[in-house]
Amino acid sequence: MKKQKIIWSVLFAAGLFMLFTGNSLAAVSADEARQLGTTLTEFGAEKAGNADGSIPAYTGGLKMDRGKGRSYADPFKNEKPLYTIDASNVDKYASLLTQGTKAMIKRFPDTYKVHVYPTHRTVRYPSWVLENNIKNATTAKLGGEFEGDNMIGADKKGLPFAGIPFPIPKTGYEVMWNHMLQIEPPVVNFACLALLVDTTGYASKFGGITHYHLHPWYEKSGEIREQTNDALFGFSSTMKFPPSQAGTHFLNLYMPNAAEGGQRVWFYTPGQRRVRRAPEFAYDVPIASYGGVFCWDEVFGFVGRMDRFDFKIIGRKEMIIPYNVFGITNSATLDEQAGVKHVNPSTVRWEKHRVWVVDSTRKAGKRHVYSRRTFYIDEDSWAIAVSDSYDSAGKLWRITNLYLYPPYDAFGIINGTWSISDLAKGNYVVINTGRQEPGNFIKVYTDSAGLGIPLTPQAVAAGGVR
């Protein structure tokens, strides 16, 4: 009853806002928003399970102590797969698989397998965020020069409230903005590696980095948000090796509007001993520090301005996706992860979840290496779980799997580890992994007190070590 009173009071306040500002700012009507907290969760997911029970009802997510390990232990380690999908039975499950997953099974019929486990809806939200989601439903909208350029809302500075801006989305752009404000702890600090496996099966370890991944809107005090000029998310990262790049620092902040291309990026190089702006680190520019094997707008599934593609919402579907993946993200060594042609299937947990499917096609007259990209976004966290990318001839080119798991001692989801399989070249890369390697770790924080994170160009320059 108390929860319902909160929901109705929030809707009443939103109704007053609409009365005095006009209906143009309403994403959905107050009547439609009443689904939130009833048939839908306060973040817009279907609260009930599915018809056959393979997707359970949402009951609040997973909360438990983490312990003292340097990574997250798997709370489901004793579970066994319900079934395995491979070349022998892929047709039976075709409607539940992304095009990329089916392509991987077809390309590697002897080795690529999808181990499907019981579904657990583990994402948790703070109560204050749930209240903000409901307020956003009737007050947030899109604006800007191009469709999807900006968000407009009823909170300070004319922005949405800190939370999911469009819990009942009507367009693909709204779903993508929800992804950019996916629920995640305000600070995720980790040291990690990358793994590149070439066409011969040779595995190279590279890209040793210490990261601070930032989701400023989910720090309740608002301090990080103030320091980053309302950035939705970003990262402040220092490279440890190879020696030629050690000390290089990146500060990337992604903004709630299209000014400066929707992002502010700086980097420090020890050789030059200065910080410079890097507006070119965007769109389809290859990331040199990772060997150029993926583009700047593929970080975390998708980042940056949405002006080069038309984003169309296909709908919400039941799909089998990587989920609650504690193997490749936390417990497996790099050697255990490195299959000859693809990630070792035994290190990846797959589950059936409902996802929002957004299909994007390159706009006429716009340039990008991809002509089409399809995104599969988890309904509970709003994080991209899988994306399929196509070349200019319309042929499936790269498949990205993001290995989602919940930081169960805090809230939200972590999607900082992902793999990209290149069907054209035959190689693959795993980014931000290797928790079990010496010196690596992961820590989460609900505020930034005492961390000393470099969040300005001046702070980055002051922290230069060589």
Domain 180-462 class in CATH: mainly beta
pLDDT at 237 over 50: yes
Residue 341: DSSP 8-state: S
pLDDT of residue 464: 63
The proportion of the chain whose per-residue pLDDT surpasses 90, expressed as a percent, equals: 83
pLDDT of residue 243: 80
Give me the mean pLDDT over the 115-131 stretch.
98
pLDDT at 23 over 70: no
Hey, is 343 helix, strand or coil?
strand
pLDDT at 24 over 90: no
Q: Cis omega before residue 242 (within 30°)?
A: yes
pLDDT of residue 3: 52
**pLDDT-derived band of residue 145, with 50, 70 and 90 as boundaries?**
confident
Q: What is the mean pLDDT of the chain?
A: 92
User: Residue 51, Cβ neighbours under 10 Å: how many?
Assistant: 8
pLDDT at 21 over 50: no
**pLDDT-derived band of residue 22, with 50, 70 and 90 as boundaries?**
very low
pLDDT of residue 97: 98
Give me the mean pLDDT over the 179-192 stretch.
97
**pLDDT-derived band of residue 25, with 50, 70 and 90 as boundaries?**
very low
Tens digit of each residue's pLDDT (9 = 90 or more) over 259-272: 888 999 999 988 78
pLDDT at 4 over 70: no
**pLDDT-derived band of residue 110, with 50, 70 and 90 as boundaries?**
very high
For residue 387, give the nearest of 332, 321, 432, 305 by alpha carbon: 321
- Three-point CA angle 149, 153, 154, nearest 5°: 165
- Provide the β-strand partners of residue 442: 190
How many CA atoms lie less than 13 Å away from 466 in the CB half-sphere? Answer: 11
Q: What is the C-alpha separation between 299 and 360, in angstroms, rounded?
A: 17
The proportion of the chain whose per-residue pLDDT surpasses 70, expressed as a percent, equals: 94
Report phi then psi at 6, rounded to 5.
-60, -45
For residue 261, give the nearest of 299, 303, 228, 214 by alpha carbon: 303
**pLDDT-derived band of residue 289, with 50, 70 and 90 as boundaries?**
confident
Dihedral of the alpha carbons of 17, 21, 23, 29, in degrees to the nearest 10: -10
Give me the mean pLDDT over the 378-397 stretch.
98
403 versus 245: which is more confidently predicted? 403
Tens digit of each residue's pLDDT (9 = 90 or more) over 311-322: 999 999 999 999
C-alpha distances out from residue 373 to 176, 178, 323, 397, Å: 12, 17, 21, 10
Tokens read off for 326: 């504690």
Tokens read off for 29: 């009507």
For residue 233, give the nearest of 206, 260, 195, 262 by alpha carbon: 262
- Comparing 109-113, 170-174, 268-272, the range with the smallest average pLDDT is 268-272
pLDDT at 340 over 80: yes
pLDDT at 84 over 70: yes
**pLDDT-derived band of residue 198, with 50, 70 and 90 as boundaries?**
very high
Tokens read off for 414: 């972590």
Would you kindly state where each structural domain of the chain is located, as residue ranges?
A: 2-62+127-179, 180-462
